[in-house]
Amino acid sequence: MQKILLLIVAILTLALINYVLFSPTTSQQTSLWDITQPTLDSIQVFGITLNKTTLQQAQKILNKPAKIALIKDIELSSYSIEAYFGEVTPGHLSGHCIVTLVISKEQMLDFEQRSIEKKVRHNGSLFFTLSPTDNQIAQTSKIKTITFIPYVTFTPALIDKYFGQPSIQLTENTTTQHYLYPKKGLDITLYTEQPPVFQYISPPYFKETILVPLQHKIKTANSAKN
């Protein structure tokens, strides 16, 4: 009897989650799968148009301020400007949102020189707090990519239902699977013991920014095993 009750509770819970998270949104709301392509070199998701919407505008759209930082990857000798929104709720789905900005490497090198604080992150990369002047420059810069980490778990079946069959599916390792949609500019990463990660980028940059580095990473890892 107890097992039957537990099963009923589990079924009702799943039904409630599907109703709350995946019911149709209002005209002001957009979900993870509501991806449009207003131009050939861009996509729009969460009301944000990549390579057009500025960080300042995105903060109004998401109704949330963002914390900006310069990130330096020591191993790859690469830089990026990231803005952390913390928890946001596009549509009915809550999660953490991070965006990167369109800023030249020359500008980022200048930002590093003028930064007011430096920290070492757990992965070894460096985290720089921008000066007030450079922070303002970042505010008016356009958004390059969006990364969204929802609180709920996605299954391959849910991905197929809401995003369709991926054009490419890659296994990074035993715990990580990638569902790739080059034409939509979307990489969905499913982990066995971590929340999923949704990364959005304009389709023309998908291959060089996401697909090729991922394939190289997998090839390198497989070569190391042999």
Q: What is the mean pLDDT of residues 85-100?
A: 91
pLDDT at 6 > cutoff 50: no
pLDDT at 28 > cutoff 80: no
φ, ψ for residue 9, nearest 5 deg = -60, -45
**Which has the higher per-residue pLDDT, 106 or 8?**
106
pLDDT at 178 > cutoff 70: yes
Domain boundaries of the chain, sorted by first residue? 32-220
pLDDT at 24 > cutoff 60: no
Question: pLDDT tens digits, residue range 138-174?
Answer: 999 999 999 999 999 999 999 999 999 999 999 999 9
Asked whether the beta carbons of 31 and 42 are under 8 A apart, the reply is no
Q: What is the mean pLDDT of residues 106-117?
A: 96
Task: Give the pLDDT band (50/70/90) at residue 226.
Answer: low
Asked whether the beta carbons of 178 and 172 are under 8 A apart, the reply is yes
> What does pLDDT average to over the chain?
86
DSSP H or E stretch at residue 119 = strand 117-120
Q: What is the DSSP letter of 222?
A: H
Residue 89 CA to residue 223 CA, distance in Å, equals: 41
Task: Give the pLDDT band (50/70/90) at residue 1.
Answer: very low
